[in-house]
Structure 1
Amino acid sequence: MEKKRIQIFDTTLRDGEQVPGCKLNTKEKVRIAKQLEALGVDVIEAGFPTSSPGDYKSVQEICKSISKPIICALSRAIEKDIEIAGNALKDAKMARIHTGIGTSDCHIRYKFNSTPEKIIEKAKLSVQYAKKFVEDVEFYAEDAGRTNNEFLAKVCETVIKYGATVINIPDTTGYCLPEEYGRKIRFLKENVKGIHKIILSTHCHNDLGLATANSLSGIMNGAQQVECTINGIGERAGNTSLEEIVMIIRQNSHLNLFTNIKTKLISETSYLVSECTGMKVQANKAIVGVNAFSHSSGIHQDGIIKKRETYEIINPEDVGIDQSSIILTARSGRAALAYRYKKLGYSLNKNSLDLVYSIFLSYADRKKEIADKELKIILEKANIKKKRMLHNSGRINVV
């Protein structure tokens, strides 16, 4: 079976930047956009131009600096928003306007004080107007996760009829369970007239920790594009993590899916986004956290030293990390200690290792982690004991 390509729509510079305290200036946005281009993303959502003059300028500058990915600008279903987005995108080699409106009962009643009929009309008019500026128009049905499927299908049919090229089905509040979100995508694929003409996109939030799982369920049920962010940053608990969804696809060949992401640039890109945004990556974050390829348990360390695949399903080199890390703690065993000493140029025989290990444990019980400088101190202590023991028995040997 031929593999299907999943397009990667990166919204780090738009949805990702909406995190409190995460403000990027134009220079930083352009720098990240160039890195995303090198990474191989298909679409860069550069910003929300109507939100501020600074964001408008950033979108303009990104359009001038980027040549390969589609550059996308967000707007509400308001003519002024759409016009500003269209103007900001004038210098893009390939431009897309991303416009839309809330479709759930909650949004229709309380956010817009409107009716389903009026929402469909606004959806239609927004796509029609956006087509005056660009050919590629993506429509988002905000809060689609909580939208009745039959009504959502009507909205989709309408915007397809009036020229939408991509339809985004956001789980805006992170409400859906993976099976539920997958069924929603499958329902649209099977019940919306003209759905084969457009790209169906996922956009999942992580309020319940299910963003990546929901996105995966979406593409397994027919979505062709995933909207995501580097390090999973975004509103509230964040968005689908680009590195997670990309590596899930890469590592599970039976899915018959692929992306154009150059995975060896993932770690570098993660670091850049963290540096520019000031948003630290949690240590246990999948793929890019500092502990993702680190091992401190003796059992795990012994397995990794013997064969990496015993405890790692991803080769760290595949995401731009030189090698796995063996972290020495009180839970580490002799194999890990010998391994680390070998890295420092010391080869210990069994008797020497036993002696050094007993000293190591006394250090490790007092500290979270034993560094190289402390390993050398431990070796010096062992040498002192060695001399004394040599005098008594002549049997201890440090090589």
Structure 2
Amino acid sequence: MKNVNKYSRGYDMPPVKSLKWTEKQYITEAPTWCSVDLRDGNQALVVPMNLEEKLEYFQMLLQVGFKEIEVGFPAASETEYAFLRKLIDENLIPDDVTIQVLTQSREHIIKKTFEALQGAKKAVVHLYNSTSVAQREQVFRKSKEEIIDIAVAGAKMLKKYAAETEGQFQFQYSPESFTGTEMEFALEICNKVLDIWQPTADNKVIINLPATVSMSMPHVYASQIEYMSDHLSYREHVILSLHPHNDRGTGVADAELGMLAGAQRVEGTLFGNGERTGNVDIVTLALNMFSHGVDPKLHFENIPAIISKYERLTRMKVHERHPYGGELVFTAFSGSHQDAIAKGMKWREEEERQYWTVPYLLIDPMDIGREYEGDIIRINSQSGKGGIGYILQQKYGIDLPIEMRESFGYSVKNVSDHQHKELMPNDIYDIFMKEYVNLHSPVEFIRYQSTQNGHYETLVSIRMNNEELELKGVGNGRLDAISNAIQTKLGIDYTDLVYKQHALEIGSGSKAVSYVGITAKDGTVNWGCGMDDDIMTSSVKALFSAVNKMISNIQLPVEKPYYPLKK
């Protein structure tokens, strides 16, 4: 691409090697989660939420299980000030939930922030100022010492106003644009703030290290976090927090590796809403842990309901391929994928194993409120026999023989390909009923009578060319006798009759279903299905369906029977 020389690495590696996080295989416990949907997320909306919408969203966050929620920047907006006051005045904050508010290091803003917090039982007051080289040089045009003075002054003011305000307040400091800051300077400014606040075991301080702009590969961010974790003063009394953005599409990876590197807390939003490419997606982070058998301490058992409310309140759309939440993320259109999923689901039922290992499905969709029907396997021209058979079995109780699935699969794919659309389960069912079940042209089965005398003698009534006729046959069983009658009296040759039957348990009471496959002279196998209240009659109908299929497939001429029906 052109202009590649315009860009440099733009980040700072730690001055000492920080790679202990690489020795860890996985995250063992959930961090403290802090939702910033109502601040970072809301400010990034084309149409920010009004007070009523923010309140409904706040209630949803409580239901999901967040114990820390950043509710806004009360000194910057009357709407956010009013929202905070409503939460406090109407006692809408549960005792086990801590609200968080944001403030710059400016006295009139800090003063108004604490005025807005009057009456709150507890809150996190989040102080920030920008520390990166770009911000120092281009925006503030200040030296490192002057930037430190801003942070220290703010820390002192927080301490002063907290002492004058009733309530329990925890302090948080963010060196905004941390990822563009020299690591030694980031450490210095954080330690200067900690020296002011003097954290203790009973009064811990949060140091939040934001990837305000994601600038490096995730392993670099992890090394930066580990360096800070190893060198922060008062470390045992510091809660190390992350706030990754997603500019490079690595927000989730940044957060996961940052947790391996020592972070104990994560700030993010549902589905990654936020400025530019957004904040880290807490839904994905939490369910990634869930997929490893770690309880994320958040409730995403009904993802569809959360998405519905999220989309209505934010006017944003969760992409169809968004991890876990997207409409299509558990869906297989590919034939080989469908076949593997169908076999995996059947294997799981048979084996009753503890751990989820179904191919192509990271977690069980039902654990987060998704349905097997319509979510896992959907049918288009790329689909295969396994998935198509799975749909019929799950939705309608029709368990096709394995050998028959290929034949039916081609029928379905041909329809989808011709119509250039996805086929719904009812479409698949209609194709099956039309092309395979109780076929009655050109030979229509009417009735049969059978007697047994060492072998079966059967008289079959049929209708062909608008004329009712009788066929007689002998065989080892009733179906064999009828098959012999068809071949002998109609002059039709086939071999290798394959037969299967079962009760149709879904939606049709005790109706029986039978499947028959017959092989023509050219080697093609023709399948038919019969449905009837009587199991034997369903078998006969399946045989006639297969015969009619073979006649239509190879345009076989049918001889006139030897035995016309006597009137």
TM value normalised by structure 2: 0.65
Is the 8 Å Cα contact of residues 45 and 314 (structure 2) preserved in structure 1? Answer: no
Aligned to 1:296: 333
CA distance in 2: counterparts of 1:398 and 1:60, whole angstroms: 70
Aligned to 1:344: 395
Equivalent in 31, 35, 51 of residue 56 of structure 2: 31
Aligned to 1:250: 290
Equivalent in 354, 374, 381 of residue 434 of structure 2: 381
CA distance in 2: counterparts of 1:373 and 1:322, whole angstroms: 17
Aligned to 1:173: 213
Is the 8 Å Cα contact of residues 389 and 400 (structure 2) preserved in structure 1? Answer: no
Query: Which 10-residue stretch deviates more, 100-109 or 360-369?
Result: 360-369
CA distance in 1: counterparts of 2:378 and 2:414, whole angstroms: 16
Aligned to 1:357: 409
Displacement of 1:11? 0.6
Aligned to 1:139: 173
Change in Cα spacing, 1:228 to 1:360, as seen in structure 2 (3 Å) is same
Q: Secondary structure at the match of 2:38?
A: coil
- Residue 363 of structure 2 aligns with an amino acid whose one-letter code is I
CA distance in 1: counterparts of 2:105 and 2:302, whole angstroms: 36
CA distance in 2: counterparts of 1:389 and 1:47, whole angstroms: 75
Deviations 1:133-192 (A, max 9, x none): 352011111100111010000111011112271011011111122111111111111122
- Residue 85 of structure 1 aligns with an amino acid whose one-letter code is T
Is the 8 Å Cα contact of residues 65 and 298 (structure 2) preserved in structure 1? Answer: yes
Aligned to 2:114: 86
Aligned to 1:55: 80
Question: Does residue 364 of structure 2 align to residue 312 of structure 1?
Answer: no
Aligned to 2:382: 331
Aligned to 2:371: 322
Is the 8 Å Cα contact of residues 336 and 384 (structure 2) preserved in structure 1? Answer: yes
CA distance in 1: counterparts of 2:87 and 2:530, whole angstroms: 60
- Residue 338 of structure 1 aligns with an amino acid whose one-letter code is G
Is the 8 Å Cα contact of residues 72 and 95 (structure 1) preserved in structure 2? Answer: yes
Displacement of 1:115? 1.5
Aligned to 2:234: 194
Map 1:107-122; keep pairs closer than 5 Å.
Answer: 107-122=135-150
CA distance in 2: counterparts of 1:331 and 1:60, whole angstroms: 56
CA distance in 2: counterparts of 1:318 and 1:225, whole angstroms: 25
Question: Does residue 93 of structure 2 align to residue 66 of structure 1?
Answer: yes
CA distance in 2: counterparts of 1:383 and 1:258, whole angstroms: 48
Change in Cα spacing, 1:360 to 1:258, as seen in structure 2 (3 Å) is closer
Is the 8 Å Cα contact of residues 302 and 370 (structure 2) preserved in structure 1? Answer: no
Q: Secondary structure at the match of 1:162?
A: helix
Is the 8 Å Cα contact of residues 167 and 198 (structure 1) preserved in structure 2? Answer: yes
Query: Which 10-residue stretch deviates more, 17-26 or 106-115?
Result: 17-26
Query: Which 10-residue stretch deviates more, 377-386 or 260-269?
Result: 377-386
Q: Secondary structure at the match of 2:39?
A: coil
- Residue 232 of structure 1 aligns with an amino acid whose one-letter code is G
- Residue 184 of structure 2 aligns with an amino acid whose one-letter code is E
Deviations 1:309-343 (A, max 9, x none): 21112122332323342111111112211221223
Displacement of 1:83? 2.3
Aligned to 2:40: 15
Whose Rg is larger?
A: 2
Q: Secondary structure at the match of 1:387?
A: coil
Aligned to 1:226: 266
Displacement of 1:45? 0.7
Deviations 1:228-271 (A, max 9, x none): 10011100001110011112223335xxx754212314443333
CA distance in 2: counterparts of 1:195 and 1:33, whole angstroms: 32
Question: Does residue 127 of structure 2 align to residue 99 of structure 1?
Answer: yes
Aligned to 2:243: 203
Change in Cα spacing, 1:384 to 1:300, as seen in structure 2 (3 Å) is closer
Displacement of 1:352? 6.2
CA distance in 2: counterparts of 1:389 and 1:195, whole angstroms: 85
Is the 8 Å Cα contact of residues 39 and 266 (structure 1) preserved in structure 2? Answer: no
Q: Secondary structure at the match of 2:70?
A: strand
CA distance in 1: counterparts of 2:389 and 2:442, whole angstroms: 21
Is the 8 Å Cα contact of residues 30 and 65 (structure 1) preserved in structure 2? Answer: no
Q: Secondary structure at the match of 1:138?
A: strand
Looking at secondary structure, tell me which structure has more helix per residue: 1
Change in Cα spacing, 1:342 to 1:45, as seen in structure 2 (3 Å) is same
**How many residues align structurally?**
396
CA distance in 2: counterparts of 1:295 and 1:358, whole angstroms: 17
Change in Cα spacing, 1:105 to 1:354, as seen in structure 2 (3 Å) is closer
Aligned to 2:480: none
Question: Does residue 266 of structure 2 align to residue 217 of structure 1?
Answer: no
Change in Cα spacing, 1:279 to 1:104, as seen in structure 2 (3 Å) is same
Is the 8 Å Cα contact of residues 98 and 137 (structure 1) preserved in structure 2? Answer: yes
Is the 8 Å Cα contact of residues 37 and 66 (structure 1) preserved in structure 2? Answer: no
CA distance in 2: counterparts of 1:65 and 1:299, whole angstroms: 52
CA distance in 2: counterparts of 1:349 and 1:291, whole angstroms: 26
CA distance in 2: counterparts of 1:201 and 1:360, whole angstroms: 53
Aligned to 2:157: 129
What percentage of residue pairs aligned between the two structures are identical? 25
CA distance in 2: counterparts of 1:4 and 1:370, whole angstroms: 43
CA distance in 2: counterparts of 1:273 and 1:80, whole angstroms: 34
Change in Cα spacing, 1:266 to 1:87, as seen in structure 2 (3 Å) is farther
Q: Secondary structure at the match of 2:194?
A: helix
CA distance in 2: counterparts of 1:307 and 1:211, whole angstroms: 32
Is the 8 Å Cα contact of residues 287 and 296 (structure 2) preserved in structure 1? Answer: no
Displacement of 1:221? 0.6
Displacement of 1:348? 5.2
Larger relative CO (CA 8 A, sep 6+): 1 or 2?
1
Change in Cα spacing, 1:302 to 1:354, as seen in structure 2 (3 Å) is closer
Change in Cα spacing, 1:112 to 1:201, as seen in structure 2 (3 Å) is same
RMSD across aligned positions (CA) = 2.5
Displacement of 1:196? 2.2
CA distance in 1: counterparts of 2:442 and 2:265, whole angstroms: 68
Is the 8 Å Cα contact of residues 438 and 530 (structure 2) preserved in structure 1? Answer: no
Displacement of 1:276? 0.8
Q: Secondary structure at the match of 2:37?
A: coil
CA distance in 1: counterparts of 2:120 and 2:338, whole angstroms: 50
Is the 8 Å Cα contact of residues 173 and 205 (structure 1) preserved in structure 2? Answer: yes
CA distance in 1: counterparts of 2:207 and 2:317, whole angstroms: 32
